Each structure stands twice: as structure tokens, then as C-alpha cells.
Structure 1
Amino acid sequence: MSEVMWDRGVEWLAAAATDPRVCKREWDQGEGIALLEAGRYWDVLSVPDRLGMLALDLLWQSSRPAPGPTLVDTAAHRVGFFLPPDPGSRWIGAGLRHAGRGSWVAVPPPYRSARFVEWLVPPDGSGFLHAPVTLELALRQANGTLAVLTPLCDA
């Protein structure tokens, strides 16, 4: 990613902070993670890591545009997909967690990981996010694949 894209990604993410300057200072001088409120510029759908990694792989393989911003938390074993804010959204499924208005998300800067959180697809500052319908289809396909593979792994 070019330096201009990093800068745009930083500004785009920091705009979700209560104080963008404090957010950027936390990224550079603090723990490297800022708590950003979901629901204004984006929501986050967090899924178990096996499901999320397989879904992201499916999204990369499709003929659609590149996937939107995606985080992985290796300590929590979760993958977070950034979606357009939708207060009426109802994501239902085992292990799915939807962070919308009133929820806070731990986010590193787009240019490096922090603690156990890192970007699989960093934001480029354009505001491009995962399309909910496209993500849902990838998650359904990934879930079907995992359902077939899990009995083989348990054998």
C-alpha cells in the first residue's frame, strides 16, 4: 500500500474516534490500539476465525472488487468484517457478533499490527466496505465447507 493510501486510511479510521488527534497519538505513542465507536461510519461483524478466514478467501477469489477492511484478533480467534452502518441489521448465526451503534471496537492503525489485532485487509481511506449481501453469501458458503471438513478433521 502506498504512503498516501496509509494516510487516507489513518484519517478515515481516526474520524470514527471521539477525538481523532488523541486516536492517532494512541496509535503512535500508546498501546497501538484505539477504541473506536461502531455505528456511525461502519459496523463490524465478528465471526470465529476459521469461518472468517475461509469467507475472506472466498471473497478474494470472486470476480467482485477486493474485500473491504477486515481485522483479525489472534487472541480471541475472531475475524471482523467492516460493513456499512445498519441499525436494523440482524445477523443471526452461531458465533456471529454484530457491533453497531453503542459498541466499541479495538482497532490498530492501518500501517501496523498491535498486540493480537492486525489488518488482513487494511482500510484504504476510500470508505469502501464489505457489501452485506456478498459477505453473507461468502459466510454461508464457508460455513457449508466447514460443516463438510469438520467431520473429516475429527476422524
Structure 2
Amino acid sequence: MEETSARTAGDTAPPLARQFGGNLLEHALQYVKERHWEVLPGAWLESDSGATRCSCAVPACGAPGAHPLRRDWTTHATGSTAEVRRLWSREPRAAILLPTGRTFDVFDVPETAGCLALARMERSGVAPGPVAATPAGRMQFFVLPGGAAKAPGLLRQLGWSPAALSLSVRGEGDFVAAPPTRMGRRGAAQWVHRPTSVNRWLPDAAEVIAPLAYACGQEP
């Protein structure tokens, strides 16, 4: 997916915007230095006799190249640039994972619903925070931490059943793969609305839940 044309005014395209420039270490450092986000190295993709497989070597891996390497991963995320350099120097191919529930939560919706929601936000003057797209056809909206816990109640207030919508939440104890991490054979995660100084202040869940819910409600 190419970055959408619905850019926030004043977007000056900082280094983080060069989605596939540089290596994964440089991107991980930028997330830490520019956004003050914690990062975690994850699994990576390997080529084996022409086939692509996850470094975890599990044949039926559910998230090839984009999952933590250890069960206690929540205690190993770091916001230290020195530690980031050490970790990615050990394995430069490691996925960049961003723990949710700390400096942000994430609302995850189908790509078509995400595009519709962004259009409605633009018309209504709602400024989205960073928005990422995955090669699995999903879009991820970054909101203030605590949004995952608020979402079910907010949806019910709007008259929606949370179980009836293809809207999932990522909060405490979860993670997302950061661009430009490769996710299986389909491609890499990309920014739709990249992180910039303009959207440094994330929206609250209540600001974006209505357009997201409406857009998901239009899904067949």
C-alpha cells in the first residue's frame, strides 16, 4: 500500500517517513529517539531452499517473522538506544515490535474500513494519530494508552455490539509489528499516516471510535 494522500497539514516528512530506507536498526533507533516508544526485537524471515520460513522454525507459525522470541518478552522491551544497538547488532533481520498498553494502544480494523474511517475523520475534522497498514489487509490506528479498555463501553454507548464488528484492540500485554517489518510472504508493514511532529499527541479512543465503528459496520 502506498501512503495515502490524506496527509496532515504541516507534515514535513522527517527521516522516519522514508519507509524502506536504511536498515531495521536505524528504524528501531528512530522509534526510540523520535517517538520515545519502547521496541523489542522479534522473529525474522529466513530463506530455506527457496522457501521462506519464520526463524522460530515452527511449521505452522501464525505470525511468521513478526512475533516475540520469548514468553517473557514484556520485560525485555527497551527505550535505550544503546540496548537497541546491541540487540539489533546481534540479529539485524529481527522484526521491530512495539509493545502496546504503554505509550499507546492500537485499534485494528479491515483495510477498507480503515480507509473509510480516515475519510470520515478528515471530513469531520478529527485528526488521527499514526496509522499503519499490514500486508494481511488490516489498518492499525494508534491512540492514547487505555483505549483498549475503553473500547467495549464506548461501542455500546454508540449502539454497536463489540462482537459484531471486525474491530480488535491491542492494549497491555500485546504488541504490533512496526514498519518496515516484513510479515510473512505478503510483504511488509507500512505507514499510512506516518509518525511526525504533527501527530505526536495521540487521539483519545473516544475521538476515533465512532468513525471506526461506523466503517466496520459497513463491512459485509
Q: Same fold, TM exceeding 0.5?
A: yes
Q: Sort the Cα spacing of 1:14 and 1:134 in 2 relative to 1 into closer, same or farther, 3 A.
A: closer
2:111 aligns with one of 45, 49, 68: 49
Q: In the alignment, is residue 78 of structure 1 matched against residue 149 of structure 2?
A: no
Q: In the alignment, is residue 62 of structure 1 matched against residue 124 of structure 2?
A: yes
Q: Sort the Cα spacing of 1:133 and 1:67 in 2 relative to 1 into closer, same or farther, 3 A.
A: same
Q: Sort the Cα spacing of 1:58 and 1:51 in 2 relative to 1 into closer, same or farther, 3 A.
A: same
Q: In the alignment, is residue 19 of structure 1 matched against residue 78 of structure 2?
A: yes
Alignment of 1:136-151 (within 5 A): 136-144=209-217, 146=218
Q: In the alignment, is residue 133 of structure 1 matched against residue 195 of structure 2?
A: no
Aligned to 1:35: 97
Distance 1:83 1:33 in 2: 22
Report the TM-score, using the length of structure 1 for normalisation.
0.71
Q: CA RMSD in A?
A: 3.0
Task: Name the SS for the 1:89 alignment partner.
Answer: helix
Structure ID, larger Rg:
2
Cα deviation digits, residues 113-155 of structure 1 (max 9, x gap):
44321111111256321331221111233245x36xx5xxxxx
Alignment of 1:100-139 (within 5 A): 100-108=171-179, 113-115=180-182, 116-125=188-197, 127-139=200-212
Distance 1:32 1:136 in 2: 33
Q: Sort the Cα spacing of 1:5 and 1:73 in 2 relative to 1 into closer, same or farther, 3 A.
A: closer
- Equivalent residue pairs, number: 139
Q: Sort the Cα spacing of 1:143 and 1:35 in 2 relative to 1 into closer, same or farther, 3 A.
A: closer
Task: Name the SS for the 2:149 alignment partner.
Answer: coil
Q: In the alignment, is residue 3 of structure 1 matched against residue 14 of structure 2?
A: yes
Distance 1:13 1:34 in 2: 14
Report the TM-score, using the length of structure 2 for normalisation.
0.52
Deviation at 1:36, TM superposition (A): 1.4
Q: Sort the Cα spacing of 1:54 and 1:40 in 2 relative to 1 into closer, same or farther, 3 A.
A: same
Q: Larger helix proportion, structure 1 or 2?
A: 1
Distance 1:32 1:60 in 2: 35
Q: Sort the Cα spacing of 1:3 and 1:134 in 2 relative to 1 into closer, same or farther, 3 A.
A: closer
Unaligned runs of 5+ in 1: 151-155
Distance 2:128 2:151 in 1: 21
